[in-house]
């Protein structure tokens, strides 16, 4: 089969590799119908994630059809069209049992992290993929859900919802600020609607992204390049700050922006992947009764979000701005890697 | 009457001052029966809290008997023996209505902070005190509760419970670590028992304090002066870390200790009053699914804790190590200000 | 002033009565701008509520402008345009402090019930009303909120939301069934949207009401007069039942319908006011892991719902189907008392 | 091997039967070390549970050592000493994924009920047992936990805790009443301590059982044979009723007792297995803001309770009043079937 293979920092190729095979009784093999690219793939390609070694097939998102099942698989069958969760979870360990699938103690992957596709094992930017712990890690796709809709449920929509909206404890009537209007920020903007906020304020430096945020459900937008950006946000509250501030960039500056916006009693939910420590002004914050959350997605809401997508309650296909076939995956990387230039959000790569 | 008056940095006196009078219809006047000293009082005396000006009567904890009620007070009467909450709350503002009494928008005090006794208005280290918003800020003391028990409910016990145990989301079976075995740390140790933990580990540099922690409910103790202190704590878990780490000191080092101890999916609850920012290693933590809470006590559990004290379910009188009369309050300050030397925890100052 | 006075079973009149006066320091007087009629008022008029005696002014919903404040009122002023909560709450008693305002231990009213307007004290179908515990019981109306919107926040919208949606623990992705598409059922249909359900199924015997339910947010409707109504509902689920069934009628039959629809692990939320006991098939239900809730509204979400109305996130004015002036209040009673004939939902009675 | 085989109503024998064999890749075989008898077993023997047919091996509680594992089992091994959960759960179906293991959609057993041992498949009163979905249904026993302690974790302790204490939402400071001081009622009494109640009141007709309840953690006891039993209970509250009433008998009368005891805003948790419908006075209750829960245990707290038992925080061995070897299991049935006469609580049947 062909796959997108990492060749070391700066190197990738769409090349012929051996087909995957069942290794454990709980595995299935999936023929991929669609995949996409995540910012993390770009980080790996830059060499920022040294655990990933040359020869690894990248990608942790996608959908496909099951072509083979292991001997221990009883609830899935050949021909099932499924979404692959970006997190592989055994469903049995002490972490899985409490819903912390992101930290599955799976002995196959890296100890204690459920994200292994395109990282510790071969990923989804390929014609075929071996899926470990398949019965806990894939989701049959109901009638009427398109490839473009389904592929966004592998990672980005659950991430915005679980790590942004749920960890941020958004509740009816809340004013929510989302710092960063890229794909994951917009997934938080869209899914925040599931808890009835009074306002969702998108904050970014790029007016084009802010304009797009309106279509994803933002009630208000603020360009943080303006000197009075903070006053603009506070003017949309009762003056005390937002109830929930969601960080969806991953820099010390944007994290501090989120912390500075939140009201006493409010929540800061960090989604961003950070490369550096941040300074936390506990000397001012200790008295403010806020909390700060962070984490890797568990995808335990994937099935629920899929139900809403099937009911057309979440216009998730808006995320896909560009489409490519597998043979043009390198071009897809170019577009996604220069997203601003192409006004790209998510790219769909399909058969 | 006589009161402990702040005279500017380093200066205090037990001196004659005018009696307080009713200023608002919701005020009451209380004749104090007992008070105590808090670490915050020492900070003020050092001049660390410049909002406190010379002439202010210190103290925010205490019990007494009501001697006069304002015209709008209907549920309290002269002669009632009551606990004064360290937080004054109007009970009507938008923050009070959501239980965030620590940030009462009370127009009398400092905007947005419910703690005003001994800070923005005259405090409780006095023979008489004016209590604003009395019906929301004092609690009648049931039969059989001693002065020593009751006075600890003004601040320290609710603080350890609300900001440590409840914000830390302790639940049955948890392993809880408390960094710092001073009064507030021990109040977290004691009240953590209300959620059925499997272990409560007290961590401190002082073996005498650790020995005392056992009497307050610690199942295990670790001296953090030892090189392998972290390994000692982890050995008391399944190896992944504690479920809840409570910071009860207020320094960057102890905060980082707490963060380092917590397992994926766990909670860090900061109680400590910090004077400096801390560095938060978000580059490592973003993937760990932890949350970090902090705040000023709301005392919304004061009534519940009082019920447990009345039922002898919390041996709270253990906190009082020394007793003084009002006339000897300066000596009480000496003992409390040199707590280690005197093996002091809380000092009771009574009529 | 003039007011709608109950004259004993079957008797009412719009008649001259003395103006109300301040009785307690926490009272205010409100000049009413708009009120409405509730099904409970009809029950009282039938003589079903013997605690209500002849001479009582009816009504527990409405908005108006404050004309006088008691000496203990500090946060409200003459001229404030406010919503009156149907529940009067002191804000200080042990029940109010835990958010159970519906059971305020207010010594003025009937022991332990916060609903007193038009029941234990004179109500809101009058030109002027005395409002006890005003600072905890009225809500200033923001700019841009109409009378018709505001008046629905006194009772019906919070009731559908708190007792139906929140007690029913509706969560994103849920399938919700609402039995009864009258005013309170429709308020549950509308406010269920605040928790992102996948479907809201309205169930009623009247096709006209079901057609209207669609406009309030019902995704599906089922006429329960049809023999296969239950199969129709189950066909909209995965076959196991709905996640939340909300009863909004108040008869044994409709209550049993709700119980029969709910899936294992689901919730039955009773809003209906019942006149008879019901039979609960615990012999079948004990193993089904459901819960059943019920209660009187606390209106602790009134302020939050008002914020959403001000943001035009809840099209609450759809409830008002007929409008009358105070002078025509008897005609308003006729229309509301024969709601089916007039296709009436809520009637607005204004100056 | 030998096993306790049901022979139809009124008939049972300890007799030779074929050894169980692995049927599915997720099965294990366990050599039983200890089992016990549940009230449900007595019901089956009376013929009250017609789904159970002659030839079925009874029992759903027990511990043992794994002697064989299926090909799909990766986390358990031969020689592991384990507790068998009374509920068999696949861990993968939509119900298992939301923690509703009691309603596992396991295709092996009765549709939608996770309890299958001694009911739909052969049970644990045998020398060997086949355990389906073993990795989700057995728990390795830590060092230092005795057979008598471990066997109580199969069913009774999780049932009292999950269905009584957790569904009843016991919280610190609560007054809890437990109606019925048999094994499951006492498990609720004991585990209620994990949420810091101020009082736990045991209610029963039998003074001997009430005396025993004190040893399990009851702070107070009331004999419900006395005319003023309700007044006695209310006198232990503030007069408004208990916060949580747990029903642990299973009759209409005891259910109504629980409902009558609960305060506005409180919880009724039904654990009892009922044979008849009950009358629920919704005409009085609709306004009381209570909720009523019920259900079959999920055993999702088994691991946590085991941790507490291993730490000697729950004196669970107090439940075992009589011990027998497997060869004397018929005698064990006699004693347990006449519990009052023998002052029996739980009987341990071991190798």
pLDDT in tens, D242-301: 999 999 999 999 999 999 999 999 999 999 999 999 999 999 999 999 999 999 999 999
Judging by DSSP bridges, how do beta strands A262-270 and A242-247 pair with one another? parallel
- Taking one residue from A and the other from B, the number of pairs with CB-CB distance under 8 angstroms is 124
**For residue A142, how many other CB atoms are within 10 A of its CB?**
13
Which residue spans within chain A are E strands per DSSP?
2-6, 12-16, 28-35, 62-69, 81-84, 128-131, 138-140, 175-179, 199-204, 220-223, 242-247, 262-270, 278-280, 291-294, 320-325, 346-350
Residues 6+ apart with CB under 8 A from A207: A223
Residue ranges, chain B, pLDDT below 50: none
**For residue D127, how many other CB atoms are within 10 A of its CB?**
17
What is the distance between the alpha carbons of residues A167 and A185, in angstroms, rounded to a whole number? 14
When scoring C287, C298, C300 by the number of chain D Cβ atoms within 10 A, the one with the most, hence best to mutate, is: C287
- Percentage of chain B beyond pLDDT 70 is 98
Give the pLDDT confidence of D66-100 residue by residue, as tens digits: 999 998 888 899 999 999 999 999 888 889 988 99
pLDDT band at D109 (very low <50, low <70, confident <90, very high): low
Among D242, D243, D184, CA closest to D209: D184
D245-262 b/e with 16+ CB inside 10 Å = b? bbbbbbbbebbbbbbbbb
Residue A210 backbone dihedrals phi, psi, to 5 degrees: -65, -40
Expressed in percent and rounded to 5, the helix, strand and coil fractions of chain B are: 30, 25, 45
> Which chain D residues touch A if contact means CB-CB below 8 Å?
24-26, 70-72, 74-75, 90-94, 97, 107, 135-136, 300, 303
Give the gap in angstroms from C-alpha D92 to the nearest C-alpha of chain A: 6
Q: Which residue of A has its CA nearest to C237?
A: A307
- DSSP class of residue D274 equals P
Give the gap in angstroms from C-alpha B238 to the nearest C-alpha of chain C: 32
Give the gap in angstroms from C-alpha B160 to the nearest C-alpha of chain C: 20
Instruction: Tally the residues of chain B.
Output: 351
Give the gap in angstroms from C-alpha A255 to the nearest C-alpha of chain B: 10
- DSSP class of residue D187 equals H
Residue B348 backbone dihedrals phi, psi, to 5 degrees: -100, 125
Contact list in D for residue A107 (CB cut-off 8 A) is: 74
Q: Do B272 and A286 touch (CB under 8 A)?
A: yes
Q: Which residue of B has its CA nearest to A103?
A: B264
- Three-state SS across A124-171? CCECEEEECCHHHHEEECCCCCCHHHHHCCCCHHHHHHHHHHHCCCCC
Residue B294 backbone dihedrals phi, psi, to 5 degrees: -165, 165
User: Which residues face A347 on adjacent strands?
Assistant: A322
Q: Do A112 and B265 touch (CB under 8 A)?
A: no
Contact list in A for residue C304 (CB cut-off 8 A) is: 172-173
**For residue D17, how many other CB atoms are within 10 A of its CB?**
17
- DSSP class of residue D57 equals B
Give the pLDDT confidence of A215-241 residue by residue, as tens digits: 999 999 999 999 999 999 999 999 999
- Which of A195, A199, A301 is facing C195, going by the closest CB pair? A195
Contact yes or no for C45/C88 (Cβ under 8 A): no
> Which chain A residues touch D if contact means CB-CB below 8 Å?
24-26, 70-72, 74-75, 90-94, 97, 107, 135-136, 300, 303
What is the distance between the alpha carbons of residues C240 and D105, in angstroms, rounded to a whole number? 10
What is the distance between the alpha carbons of residues C63 and A20, in angstroms, rounded to a whole number? 69
All chains having 3 or more CB pairs closer than 8 angstroms to chain C: A, B, D
Among A339, A336, A288, CA closest to A61: A336
Q: Which H or E element spans position D307?
A: helix D302-310
- Taking one residue from A and the other from D, the number of pairs with CB-CB distance under 8 angstroms is 40
From residue A225, alpha-carbon distances to A218, A222, C176 in Å are: 18, 9, 44
Contact list in B for residue D195 (CB cut-off 8 A) is: 172, 194-196
Give the gap in angstroms from C-alpha B140 to the nearest C-alpha of chain D: 14
C29-50 b/e with 16+ CB inside 10 Å = b? bbebbbbbbbbbbeebbeeeee
Contact yes or no for D13/D125 (Cβ under 8 A): no
Judging by DSSP bridges, how do beta strands C346-350 and C320-325 pair with one another? parallel
All chains having 3 or more CB pairs closer than 8 angstroms to chain A: B, C, D
Quick one: pLDDT at residue C95?
92
Instruction: Tally the residues of chain A.
Output: 351
When scoring D169, D174, D196 by the number of chain B Cβ atoms within 10 A, the one with the most, hence best to mutate, is: D196
Q: Which H or E element spans position C264?
A: strand C262-270
Paired tokens of B63 = 């019990």
What is the distance between the alpha carbons of residues A172 and C193, in angstroms, rounded to a whole number? 10
DSSP per-residue codes, A64-114: EEEEEE-TT--S--TT-EEEEPSS---S-SHHHHTT-GGG---SSSSTT-S
Give the pLDDT confidence of B105-125 residue by residue, as tens digits: 875 655 567 899 999 999 999
Q: Give chain A's largest Cα–Cα span.
A: 62
- Which of C70, C91, C300 is facing B91, going by the closest CB pair? C91
**For residue A327, how many other CB atoms are within 10 A of its CB?**
11
Quick one: pLDDT at residue C109?
57
Quick one: pLDDT at residue A97?
87
Q: Which H or E element spans position D162?
A: none
Contact list in C for residue B75 (CB cut-off 8 A) is: 90, 92-93
Domains by residue range for chain B, with CATH: 2-155+299-350 (3.90.180.10), 157-294 (3.40.50.720)
Contact yes or no for A177/A258 (Cβ under 8 A): yes
Among C47, C76, C41, CA closest to C60: C41
Q: Do D24 and A74 touch (CB under 8 A)?
A: yes
Residue ranges, chain C, pLDDT below 50: none
> Which chain B residues touch D if contact means CB-CB below 8 Å?
172-173, 193-196, 198-199, 219, 301, 304-305, 307-308, 311, 313
What is the distance between the alpha carbons of residues D303 and D150, in angstroms, rounded to a whole number? 11
Residues 6+ apart with CB under 8 A from C137: C84, C85, C87, C88, C89, C131
* Helical H segments across B89-182, by residue range: 94-97, 134-137, 147-151, 156-159
- Which of B277, B286, B293 is facing A281, going by the closest CB pair? B277
Contact list in D for residue B304 (CB cut-off 8 A) is: 172-173
Contact list in A for residue C172 (CB cut-off 8 A) is: 194-195, 301, 304, 308
User: Which residues face B223 on adjacent strands?
Assistant: B204
Paired tokens of B266 = 């766990």
All chains having 3 or more CB pairs closer than 8 angstroms to chain D: A, B, C
From residue A320, alpha-carbon distances to A60, A120, A156, A211, C89 in Å are: 17, 27, 12, 16, 52
Residue ranges, chain A, pLDDT below 50: none
User: Which residues face C5 on adjacent strands?
Assistant: C13, C57
What is the distance between the alpha carbons of residues A344 and A293, in angstroms, rounded to a whole number? 29
What is the distance between the alpha carbons of residues A195 and A267, in angstroms, rounded to a whole number? 15
From residue D132, alpha-carbon distances to A89, D30, D106 in Å are: 20, 11, 10
Quick one: pLDDT at residue C108?
63
When scoring D85, D96, D97 by the number of chain A Cβ atoms within 10 A, the one with the most, hence best to mutate, is: D97
- Which of A173, A198, A308 is facing C196, going by the closest CB pair? A308
Q: Do A290 and B293 touch (CB under 8 A)?
A: yes
What is the distance between the alpha carbons of residues B150 and C113, in angstroms, rounded to a whole number? 32
Give the gap in angstroms from C-alpha B156 to the nearest C-alpha of chain C: 21
What separation, in Å, do the N-terminal and C-terminal C-alpha atoms of chain A show?
13
Contact yes or no for D160/D302 (Cβ under 8 A): no
- Which of A112, A282, A290 is facing B264, going by the closest CB pair? A112
Among B330, B324, B326, B322, CA closest to B7: B330
Quick one: pLDDT at residue C295?
97
Paired tokens of A55 = 């020869």
Q: Do D196 and B198 touch (CB under 8 A)?
A: no
What is the distance between the alpha carbons of residues D200 and B290, in angstroms, rounded to a whole number? 34
What is the distance between the alpha carbons of residues C263 and B247, in angstroms, rounded to a whole number? 43
Q: How far is CA D72 from the centre of its chain?
A: 29
């Amino acid at each position: 089969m062909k796959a997108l293979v990492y060749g070391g920092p700066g190197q990738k190729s769409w090349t012929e590799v051996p087909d995957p095979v069942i290794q454990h009784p709980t595995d299935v093999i999936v023929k991929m119908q669609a995949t996409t690219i995540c910012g993390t793939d770009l980080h790996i390609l830059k060499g920022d994630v040294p655990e990933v070694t040359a020869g690894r097939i990248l990608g942790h998102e996608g959908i496909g059809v099951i072509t083979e099942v292991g001997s221990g698989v009883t609830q899935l069958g050949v021909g099932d069209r499924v979404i692959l969760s970006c997190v592989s979870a055994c469903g049995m360990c002490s972490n899985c049992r409490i819903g912390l699938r992101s930290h599955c103690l799976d002995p196959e992957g890296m100890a204690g992290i459920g994200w292994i596709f395109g990282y510790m094992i071969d990923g989804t930017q390929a014609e075929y993929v071996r899926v470990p712990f398949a019965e806990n890690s894939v989701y049959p796709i109901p009638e009427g859900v398109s490839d473009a809709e389904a592929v966004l449920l592998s990672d980005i929509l659950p991430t915005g919802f679980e790590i942004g909206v749920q960890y941020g404890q958004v509740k009816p009537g809340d004013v929510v600020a989302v710092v960063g209007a890229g794909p994951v920020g917009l997934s938080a903007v869209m899914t925040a609607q599931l808890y009835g906020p009074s306002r969702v304020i998108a904050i970014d430096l790029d007016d084009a992204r802010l304009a797009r945020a309106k279509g994803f459900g933002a009630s208000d937008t603020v360009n943080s390049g303006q000197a009075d950006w903070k006053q603009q946000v506070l003017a949309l509250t009762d003056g005390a700050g937002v109830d929930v501030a969601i960080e969806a960039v991953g820099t010390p500056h944007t994290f501090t922006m989120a912390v500075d916006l939140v009201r006493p009693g409010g929540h800061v939910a960090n989604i961003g992947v950070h490369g550096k420590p941040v300074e936390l002004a506990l000397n001012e914050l200790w008295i403010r009764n806020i909390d700060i959350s962070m984490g890797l997605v568990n995808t335990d809401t994937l099935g629920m979000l899929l139900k809403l997508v099937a009911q057309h309650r979440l216009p998730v296909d808006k995320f896909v701005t560009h489409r490519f076939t597998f043979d043009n995956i390198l071009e897809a990387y170019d577009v996604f890697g220069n997203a601003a230039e192409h006004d790209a959000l998510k790219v769909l790569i399909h058969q």
